[in-house]
Amino acid sequence: MLQRNQWVRNIALLPVALMMICCAVTAAAAEAAPDLGPNVFVFNPSMPAAEMQQQIDKAYALQQHSEFSVHRYAFLFLPGEYHLDVPLGFYTEVLGLGASPDNVHITGNVRSDAASRNNNATTTFWRGIAGIAVTPTTANTMRWAVSQAAPFRRMHIMGDIILHQNGWASGGWMSDSLIDGNVASGPQQQWISRNSEWRSWTGSNWNMVFVGIPNPPAGEWPKPPFTKVATTPVVREKPFLLVDAKGKYSVRVPAVQHDSSGITWHSGQTPGKSIPLSRFFIAKPEDTAAQINQQLQSGKNLLLTPGIYNLDEPIHVTHKNTVVLGLGFATLHPTKGNAALTTEDEDGIIIAGLLFDAGEVKSPVLMQIGPKDSKMRHVKNPISLHDVFFRVGGAGMGSTVENLTINSNDTIVDHTWIWRADHGKGVGWEKNMSANGLVVNGNNVTVYGLFVEHHQQFQVLWNGNGGRTYFYQSEIPYDPMTQAGYSSAPGIDGWASYKVADNVTNHEAWGLGIYSVFTRPNIWVSHAMEVPVNPHVIFHDMITVCLLTNGGIRNVINDAGGPTKAAPGRIEPKVTRYPAQ
């Protein structure tokens, strides 16, 4: 890795003449840019820095504290050198358009600041960055103070990075990224890093998970609370927009990897295939579901530009190898009690970069992968979901029964946050109703970075065999009204957060944190996790935490682990393995 870092630094010393050629190419690309709508800004190195900075600052002023804004933005950088400050607010995505992150280099203060008072980042959601090399100008350190739904992908930080702002933060995601220096997690409560590289890592709190990391920090669960899995068993990196040397736009679809460790772009480009943008329907928020479906049925892929799509029927993906890619947190909002997106049970379907926002009329499900009773296997070419986020309430009234239902076998989920809102508009036990966050009916489904919070029954209900979860973060709902009305079965208080169905014979999960924050007294959950007692149903590295004194959690998993207790005399039980060896 150190040899690679020296090579990257040498690239920065390219002759001026070569940089001029690069600028000429990117200027040509800018002229050929497709119409991506008014909220996508495509920058190239020949543009005046002041002009670019003005657009960035204008969006940030609007989005810095606008947690439930209707505005959406994407800033796209063509290959070349930039000197800019780039703060990211809510619903803002910053993307480099090079084959490698090193093709787009920003020297400046690229950052995510805590969105709440007192440097609190526990509500710093819905922003993302990918495909850029950054030389930080503030103490050689990039600040990325975030919590859920803030993907950090395909980044090269030529310095250090901190994952906080000297205040609390509540979990985030890093993948396919190279950090030349140190990663400091500080008061981050939990975090997942997948297929990334760094010189060093410092910090721990409740639950830190490292999957496919060549140089993970020293120590083992439970002290420090590090869960380490040497290789990533199967994954496909998220597709991304790409501009080639001739200025042509495409979407790069990374190849499926098996038993991988570290980044994909050591050789300059992530292995995979490129699909010309001409084979995509570029949707705008004013397009109807019927218009979008007509394009999908004709064989087009789908690129959703930033905005809110009001859908009176589901977007329906029917063809194998179809790519659906959202920019700038494009948001799907069902309006007639329908699903927002459904798929057939076909190979290689990819859904990425979308926010699903429940409508006022209750939907049966927001996204369904494969029809009920799907039977096909997709081992060689799996369906995959990347950075798909769900919200019930908060921005307004919304309800659903299930949020994400996976019926197709071998599906990969690569980062999701499934949130029933605990604050904002339309929030209350009988207002923003949602039974389950994730329901898995397919077999051999693999999930990395599973964040599921506040739903009214099981947060996760896993019915399929052969499932695997790498990192789980969940808060049980804050607002059950009474214990009598909050019970999954006679003699069982509450609903387990993570439920593996009784008929499942094979399941495994690593690095799970489950938390209670009940706002009414004497509300309890008997088990944070309920699973079959079977030697092939194995859970590794679990913690439960009680954050308020109103009730709590009686056991971590089945009848093991014992109760949690809030301060004073806080008890945060940790279980290393279930069943115990």
pLDDT tens digit at each of 581 positions of the chain: 333 343 333 333 333 333 443 444 444 444 467 999 999 999 999 999 999 999 999 999 999 999 999 999 999 999 999 999 999 999 999 999 999 999 999 999 999 999 999 999 999 999 999 999 999 999 999 999 999 999 999 999 999 999 999 999 999 999 999 999 999 999 999 999 999 999 999 999 999 999 999 999 999 999 999 999 999 999 999 999 999 999 999 999 999 999 999 999 999 999 999 999 999 999 999 999 999 999 999 999 999 999 999 999 999 999 999 999 999 999 999 999 999 999 999 999 999 999 999 999 999 999 999 999 999 999 999 999 999 999 999 999 999 999 999 999 999 999 999 999 999 999 999 999 999 999 999 999 999 999 999 999 999 999 999 999 999 999 999 999 999 999 999 999 999 999 999 999 999 999 999 999 999 999 999 999 999 999 999 999 999 999 999 999 999 999 999 999 998 888 999 999 999 98
Burial of 214 (0-12, 13-18, 19+ CB in 10 A): middle
- Statement to judge: residues 427 and 544 lie in one domain: yes
How would you classify the pairing of strands 92-96 and 323-326?
A: unpaired
Partners of residue 397 on adjacent β-strands: none
The pLDDT value recorded for residue 32 is 62
| Cross-strand bridge partners of residue 92 | 73, 127
**Is residue 253 one of the residues assigned to a domain?**
no
pLDDT of residue 567: 86
Same domain, 397 and 529: yes
The structure tokens 């959703």 sit at 304
At 33 the pLDDT is 77
Number of domains within the chain: 2
Domain shared by 210 and 293, yes or no: no
| Contacts of 219 by beta carbon, 8 Å cutoff, 6+ apart | 204, 226
The whole domain housing 328 covers 281-578
Peptide bond into 568 cis (omega under 30): yes
Closest CA to 390 of 410, 372, 370, 363: 363
Structure tokens at 172: 């985030």
Instruction: Give me the long-range contacts of 2-5 (CB less than 8 A, separation at least 24).
Output: 4/178, 4/266, 5/178, 5/180
State how far the Cα of 129 lies from the Cα of 125, in Å rounded to an integer. 13
CA distance 574 to 556: 8
Judge whether 475 counts as a catalytic residue: yes
In a domain, 245, yes or no: no
Are residues 442 and 538 both part of a single domain? Answer: yes
DSSP classification of residue 398: -
In this structure, how many other beta carbons lie within 10 angstroms of the beta carbon of residue 319?
17
Compute φ and ψ for 29, nearest 5 degrees.
Answer: -65, -40
Q: Provide the pLDDT for residue 110.
A: 98
pTM (predicted TM-score): 0.94
DSSP letter, residue 566: P
Alpha-carbon span 400 to 172, nearest angstrom: 25
Query: Residue 484: inside a domain, yes or no?
Result: yes
Domain end marker among 236, 270, 304 = 236
Instruction: Note whether 10 and 120 are same-domain residues.
Output: yes
User: Where among 236, 264, 298 does a domain terminate?
Assistant: 236
- Are the C-beta atoms of residues 106 and 95 closer than 8 Å to each other? no
Instruction: Read off the amino acid at residue 483.
Output: Q
The answer to whether residue 98 sits within a structural domain is yes
Sign of the alpha-carbon dihedral angle for 370, 376, 378, 379: positive
State the Cα–Cα distance between residues 13 and 11, nearest whole angstrom: 5
Q: Are strands 249-254 and 240-243 parallel, antiparallel or unpaired?
A: antiparallel
Same domain, 316 and 187: no
268 assigned to some structural domain: no
Q: Is the separation of the CB atoms in 390 and 397 below 8 Å?
A: no
Q: Are residues 32 and 137 in the same domain?
A: yes
The CATH number of residue 372's host domain is 2.160.20.10
Residue 468 lies in a domain: yes
Token pair recorded at residue 275:
């699909």
Answer yes or no: do 431 and 569 share one domain.
yes
Among 580, 581, 552, smallest CA distance to 566 is for 552
**Domain-located, residue 417:** yes
**Looking at 197, 475, 530, 572, which residue is catalytic?**
475
Please say whether the beta carbons of 183 and 217 come within 8 A. Answer: no
User: Residues 6 or more apart from 50 whose CB is under 8 A from it?
Assistant: none
Whether 264 is in a domain gets the answer no
Residues 300 and 175 reside in one and the same domain? no
Instruction: Identify the domain boundary among 236, 261, 290.
Output: 236
My answer on whether 228 and 285 are in the same domain is no
Residue 167: both structure tokens together: 């205040």
β-pair type (127-136, 104-108): parallel
Rounded CA gap, 455 and 400, in Å? 10
Same domain, 291 and 201: no
Do 353 and 473 lie in one domain? The reply is yes
What pLDDT shows up at residue 1?
Answer: 38
CA distances from residue 397 to 72, 294, 332, 378, 481 in whole angstroms, order as listed: 20, 30, 15, 37, 19
Q: DSSP label at 101?
A: G
